[in-house]
Structure formats: structure tokens, C-alpha cells
Amino acid sequence: MTDIQADFARPLAVARAPAAGRQRGPFTVQPWLYLAPALCLLMMWTYVPLVEAFQLSFYQWNMLPTSPQRYVGLTNYQRLFALPEMRAALWNTLFYILGLFPMSVIIPLFVAIWTQDLEGRARTIYRALIFVPMIVAPVVAAILWRWLLNEDQGLITLGLETIGLGRIGFLTDPNYALATLTWITGWKLIGFSTLLFSAANAGINASYIEAARIDGASRWGIIRDIRLPLLSPTILLLSMMTILFGAQWSFAYINVLTNGGPLKSTTNIFYLLWEYGFQTMSAGWSSAAGMIAFAGFAVVAAACMWLTKRFAVYDN
Amino acid sequence: MTIDVSPDLASLATAGPKAGHARRLAVHAVMIVLSFLSIFPIYWMIVTSLRPENEIFSTSLWPSNPSLENYVFVLTRIPMIGMLINTTIVSAATALLQVVTGLFAAYALVRWRMRLSGVIHGLIALSWLVPFQVTMIPNYVLASRLGLLDTLTGLIVPNAAHAFAILLLYNAMRSFPTEILEAARIDGTRSWKILWQIVVPNMGAPIASLSIIAFISAWNEYFWPLLLSRKPENSVVQIGLQMFMTQEGNLWGPLMAAATLASLPILIIYLVLQRHVIESFMKSGIR
């Protein structure tokens, strides 16, 4: 599950300053009873498994309960770093994330600014329509696009042929497959991101714009000097989501549509983890690759949080 | 400027009526393109599902002889109804449990001031950043040890508590006036009673948002069911869809009918609660 809260960067900061009016008393058991269900579940299904995965990354094991786990030290990590597969998967992960940016951040940002005057009924209808892909199941989205892009009879293939561009193996040609999967991942996000930017943009205090206009600022000047800085929290939030979760979002499409192929061209790091774990049954490799991915993304997450604190402009 | 015109009207006035008109057209054009991109694939899915077999490759916008034969085919070929019921059970139970565990945990963090509350808060928030693919093998081993493979319980339990749910309810609960809690406590009301009689009735909006998001994302969940499921009749509709595609990948009519059936409940929820669904996702985020 990949999800994120709109004010992602804040909850952590908030924890340090609890609301006033509560006393620090002697130890009471009651709060722990209320916390128990959630904490037990998180321990059982997230933290203990995380530690176990860390341990497994030093072992060789084929996932059969009857067969022994053999300690191999750092061999799994050494092997992984030597594997060309792993390097290709890491590059592909980067391509997925970079490819998502236009659809999750850049286009929505400019569409939101460009269409800010829309009002009334038209606005409501557009809103309702562009949100829909967000709630479509990834498997359904995969099937929809598989049909539209089908190499023999897909509507888009037929369309391209009519205008003389010939047939493109969107999902079978290694040059196009990754771009196609990125597009499908982005298709689900583009409308939602636009709505988030629109809401943030509508929240900008109109008197700033008015003042700038009176000072003779141009339309672009207003966007560059007022709107973009005030939209920076949303820009950073969506960028962070794209970086942290983009590669995870594409998992279902890879699994349903290409299985990582053709020629491994669509395998990303998360798909590789799954392949090692449940296709080739090498729990040690999968766990080691998982640890590498986890450490990498943790560093990126920390960097993103820092960037948000440093560069986001809040209008107080 | 002495008159109070809205900035956009002012810019339209200076640019002349023609330029304003052109701009408005361009704005609509952008939104129409975006709306079309968003909705057309779904429209095409429904249209294809209604085409009889001999018309399946037609490119007309509406089938000349709409028929339900594809749906009949799907319903006789795979246990679609059973899987839809399973998915409903899993999604409703997941949403309910996330609300309950979330309420408890949030209440504990808001009502008591504990030495460790910062650590607990951090633990909850950080669990969100652990990619499921990293913990999947131990999770799978645990599920199989507990006998949860190929069961609905196995699909529900690991998702019964979620950082997102706890933090959403925590943030909502923090804005609840502490004086009221304080007063109730001084009156000697038990914390359990305060939770259910004072806090929960005032948390309608966030609970509704959370339920909507949790239900929809549980409905669309693919990865964990993929690991746990063996037989389609014990599984959820996403897995059924994937299996059907692997077996009958080029029977486009039935495949689209199956995809339509799998999305119908969510689309109906969206049609009925449209504004609430959009608002919930916008306020609370992405899943």
C-alpha cells in the first residue's frame, strides 16, 4: 500500500509539541490498552518483518519451510551489486520516476494555473471527470490500456495507422514498453494532481495578485514571483510522492502487462524484489535487494523532508 | 484603481473582449482534452463490453446491437459474483477495522500525555515509509504459519491498522476542544464513554473520509492478494481479473465485461458520493 497524507511533513513536527492541557501523570495503563491493537498490528506486520528481512538478507533460503536457512554473510549483497540485472532495474526505477514528473507535477501545475478562472457548472463537471482515473483499480487500468494499445486491433493502433504512423508495439517493443507503463501510471495521477494544484492555487490570497498587477507585473511575472513560490508546498509534496512511491505504483502494471519484459526493459527495483522472492524463490537475494532499496529511499525521504522545510514558502 | 473588479475581469477588459474570448476557449479546450483522456478509456471499456462478438473490433462509438452476452460469458466462466462478495467483505472489514484501530490509537495519543508519545508517533508515521515489497517475504511466511493463505482473513488482518488512518484521525482529533474532554474527565466519566459519547459523534466527517478512502483502496488492492490467493473463488476481484486475463487475454468483449463488473461498485459509489469522494482524497491524500 502506498499512501500519503496531504500534510506529510507536518505530523512528525507536531509530535514534539503536544496540545496543552494534558498532564504528565504517573504511569497509566489505559492509553496502552487503546494503543495496543494498532501497535501490535504494526509490529507484527511491518516492524518485525522488517527486522526479519534484514536478517534474511544475510542468509540463503529457498522459502521452503522444510529447507534450512544457510548463513552466507554479505555474499547476497556482493552478488547483487555485480548483477547487470540489478543495475538495469535501478536505472529503470529512475526512468519511471523521472517519466512520471511531467504527469504528476509539471503538466498539472500549469493546467491548474492556466484554468484558474473556470467557475460554476463547467468547473464541477471537469473536476468530476478528471478525478475518475484516481479511483480506477490498477488492474482495470492495465486492462483498459492493454486493449486501447493492442497491436492488432487497439483503437490507438488503428488511429496511428490511419494517420500513417504504422504500428507500434507499445508493450512488446523494448524501446516503448517502459514509456507505456509510465504513461499508464501517470494517467491515474494527472487529474488528481491538477485538482490538488487548483485547490492550492485558489487558496492564494487575491490581494497579492492585485497588488502585483497594480505595480505593473506581467502575467508571467505574477506566476513566477507569486504563484509558483506560494504553490511550492504542493509542488514539493507531489514531487516527494512521485519520488518515493512512483516506482511502487507501477508494480501492478508491470506485473499484469509485461512481467518485467520485453528483455527486462520494464523491470524496476520493486518488481525485481518480487521476482527474486516469488519467481526464483531466493529469499536472501530479495531481502538484500529490499534492504538496498529501503536504505536508498530512506535517504531520499530524509532529503525530501529537509528540502520541504528549507524551501517551501508558507503564506501565514 | 477605484472600482472593485476581480483581477481576471480587469485583465480581460484591458486585453479587449476578443482576446478574453479566445483565452476562455483555450481554457475549455485544455480541460476538455484532459477530461477526455481521463474518461474515454473507461467509456471504451463499457462500450466494448456491450459489443456482440462479431462486432468486437468495430470502432463505432456505440454498438449497433448492444448485448449482454459478454457478461453472461464472464458470469458462467469465472465465479465473479462470489469474488465481488469477497471483495466487498474484505474492503468493508478493512475500512471498519482501520477506523476502529485508528480511533483508539489517536484517542490514546490525544487524551493522555505519555513520556513515549513522541516515539510512538514516530513509529506510526515511519511504518508508512516501509515499502511492502521489502517486508513481503516475512509477511508471507507469517501468514502461511498462521494458516491465512487463501483466506479472506489473511487479506484483512495485515491491513487492519494503518499509519495513514491513525494520523488522519489524530490530526482531526487534536482540533477537538480539550476543555470538553477535561470537563468530562473531572466529572468522572470513564475514558471509554468519553470516546464513544463525546469524541466519536463529533468526528463524523473524518471518519467518513477515512472509510471512503480505506474502502476504495482495499477494493483496488492487488499486491497482497496476489501473494496470498490460490483459488479464484477464495479471492478478490482484482485477482480474478488478472487470472481471467492470463487465460483469456484476447477475448476482449468478456475481458472488458469482467473489468466493468470489477469497477462497477466503485463507480457507483463515486456517482452517488462524488463530491465527498473527491474531497476526502484531496484533503487526506493518495492511496
The least confident of A109-123, A143-157, B174-188, B203-217 is B174-188
For residue A40, count other CB atoms closer than 10 A to its CB.
13
B53 shares its domain with B122: no
Among B104, B134, B221, the residue with its CB nearest the CB of A53 is B134
B1 found inside a domain = no
B256 and A133 in contact by Cβ < 8 A?
Answer: no
A37 and B245 in contact by Cβ < 8 A?
Answer: no
pLDDT at B13: 43
Residue A70: strand pairing partners: A60
The residue among B5, B27, B30, B31 with the most chain A CBs within 10 A of its CB, best to mutate, is B31
Phi, psi torsion values for B52, nearest 5 degrees = -70, 165
Which has more confidence, B204 or B1?
B204
Distance, CA of A96 to CA of A2 (rounded, Å): 16
**Amino acid letter at A292?**
I
**Exposed, middle or buried, B177 (CB in 10 Å: 0-12/13-18/19+)?**
exposed
pLDDT at A279: 87
B178 shares its domain with B42: no
pLDDT at B185: 81
B115 shares its domain with B255: yes
Q: How far does B78 lie from chain A, in Å, by closest CA?
A: 17
B170 shares its domain with B264: yes
Q: What angle do CA A289, B130, A103 make, to 5 degrees?
A: 90
Mean pLDDT of chain B: 88
Cβ(A256)–Cβ(B242) under 8 Å?
Answer: yes
pLDDT at A26: 64
B131 shares its domain with B62: no
B97 shares its domain with B228: yes
Q: How far does A157 lie from chain B, in Å, by closest CA?
A: 12
pLDDT value at A286 more than 90: yes
Q: Which residue of B has its CA nearest to A65?
A: B141
Query: pLDDT-derived band of residue B176, with 50, 70 and 90 as boundaries?
Result: confident
Question: Dihedral (C-alpha) B100, B102, B104, B106: value to the nearest 10 degrees?
Answer: -150
pLDDT tens-digit series, residues A124-138: 999 999 999 999 999
pLDDT tens-digit series, residues B179-188: 888 888 888 8
From B111, B27, B41, B272, select the one nearest A137 (Cα to Cα). Answer: B41
Quick one: CA dihedral A182, A187, A193, A198, positive or negative?
Answer: positive
Q: What is the CATH number of the domain that holds B182?
A: 1.10.3720.10
* HSE value, Cβ hemisphere, 13 Å, CA-based, for B22: 5
B157 and A41 in contact by Cβ < 8 A?
Answer: yes
pLDDT at A14: 42
Residue A247 Cα to chain centre, angstroms: 6
**Amino acid letter at A112?**
A
B37 shares its domain with B84: no
pLDDT at A10: 43
Among B38, B115, B135, the residue with its CB nearest the CB of A129 is B38
Which has more confidence, A181 or B57?
A181
pLDDT at A225: 87
B42 shares its domain with B59: yes
Quick one: CA dihedral A182, A145, A187, B270, positive or negative?
Answer: negative
B21 found inside a domain = yes
B137 and A39 in contact by Cβ < 8 A?
Answer: no
Cβ(A253)–Cβ(A141) under 8 Å?
Answer: yes
SS3 content of chain B, % helix, strand, coil (to 5): 80, 0, 20
Which three cell numbers, joined as nine digits, stand for B258?
469482467
pLDDT at A1: 38
Q: How far does B76 lie from chain A, in Å, by closest CA?
A: 20
Q: How many CB pairs under 8 A join A and B?
A: 321
pLDDT tens-digit series, residues A71-126: 998 989 998 888 888 899 999 999 999 999 999 999 999 999 998 888 888 899 99
Residue B286: strand pairing partners: A4
B29 shares its domain with B127: no
**Amino acid letter at B279?**
E
Contacts of A24 in chain B (CB under 8 A): 113, 115
Task: Kindly state the average pLDDT of the residues B237-259.
Answer: 91
Tally of helices (H runs) and strands (E runs) in chain A = 16, 2
ipTM above 0.95, yes or no: no
CATH class of the region A73-311: mainly alpha
Q: How far does B170 lie from chain A, in Å, by closest CA?
A: 9
pLDDT at B7: 46
B262 and A140 in contact by Cβ < 8 A?
Answer: yes
Cis check: omega of the bond before A262, within 30 degrees of 0: yes
Q: Would you list the domain boundaries of chain A? A: 73-311
B2 found inside a domain = no
Q: How far does A199 lie from chain B, in Å, by closest CA?
A: 9
Q: How far does B57 lie from chain A, in Å, by closest CA?
A: 6
From A85, A43, A68, A38, select the one nearest A260 (Cα to Cα). Answer: A85
Distance, CA of A267 to CA of A273 (rounded, Å): 10
pLDDT tens-digit series, residues A16-75: 444 444 445 567 888 899 999 999 999 999 999 999 999 999 999 988 878 888 899 898
**Amino acid letter at B74?**
V
The residue among B87, B134, B273 with the most chain A CBs within 10 A of its CB, best to mutate, is B134
Cβ(A63)–Cβ(B137) under 8 Å?
Answer: yes
B105 found inside a domain = yes
pLDDT value at B6 more than 80: no
Query: pLDDT-derived band of residue B233, with 50, 70 and 90 as boundaries?
Result: confident
Phi, psi torsion values for A71, nearest 5 degrees = -75, 130
Q: Which of B48, B67, B86 is the last residue of a domain?
A: B67
The boundaries of the domain holding residue B160 are: 71-284
Q: Which of B67, B90, B115 is the last residue of a domain?
A: B67
Distance, CA of B221 to CA of B88 (rounded, Å): 12
B130 shares its domain with B153: yes
**Amino acid letter at A186?**
G
Q: Which residue of A has its CA nearest to B29?
A: A115
Distance, CA of A148 to CA of A183 (rounded, Å): 13
Query: pLDDT-derived band of residue B254, with 50, 70 and 90 as boundaries?
Result: very high
B27 and A34 in contact by Cβ < 8 A?
Answer: no
The residue among A24, A39, A106, A248 with the most chain B CBs within 10 A of its CB, best to mutate, is A39
Task: Kindly state the average pLDDT of the residues B247-268.
Answer: 92
A147 and B45 in contact by Cβ < 8 A?
Answer: yes
Task: Kindly state the average pLDDT of the residues A279-296.
Answer: 91
Contacts of B102 in chain A (CB under 8 A): 38
Number of structural domains, chain B? Answer: 2
pLDDT tens-digit series, residues B54-72: 888 888 888 888 889 999 9
Which has more confidence, A1 or B266?
B266
B37 shares its domain with B161: no
A131 and B37 in contact by Cβ < 8 A?
Answer: no
Among B101, B127, B138, the residue with its CB nearest the CB of A37 is B101
**Amino acid letter at B195?**
L
Query: pLDDT-derived band of residue A15, with 50, 70 and 90 as boundaries?
Result: very low
| Residue percentage of chain A with pLDDT more than 70 | 91
Cβ(B249)–Cβ(B167) under 8 Å?
Answer: no
Q: How far does B69 lie from chain A, in Å, by closest CA?
A: 19
Contacts of A252 in chain B (CB under 8 A): 222-223
**Amino acid letter at B86?**
N
A139 and B44 in contact by Cβ < 8 A?
Answer: no
Which residue has cell 535517504? A299
Q: Which residue of B has its CA nearest to A137?
A: B220
**Exposed, middle or buried, A216 (CB in 10 Å: 0-12/13-18/19+)?**
exposed
pLDDT at B236: 95
Residue A119: strand pairing partners: none
Which residue has cell 538484500? A288
Distance, CA of B287 to CA of B276 (rounded, Å): 16
pLDDT at A17: 44
Residue A174 Cα to chain centre, angstroms: 23
B223 shares its domain with B200: yes
Q: Which of B67, B92, B111 is the last residue of a domain?
A: B67
Which has more confidence, A16 or B152?
B152
Phi, psi torsion values for B187, nearest 5 degrees = -65, -10
Among B31, B112, B191, the residue with its CB nearest the CB of A115 is B31
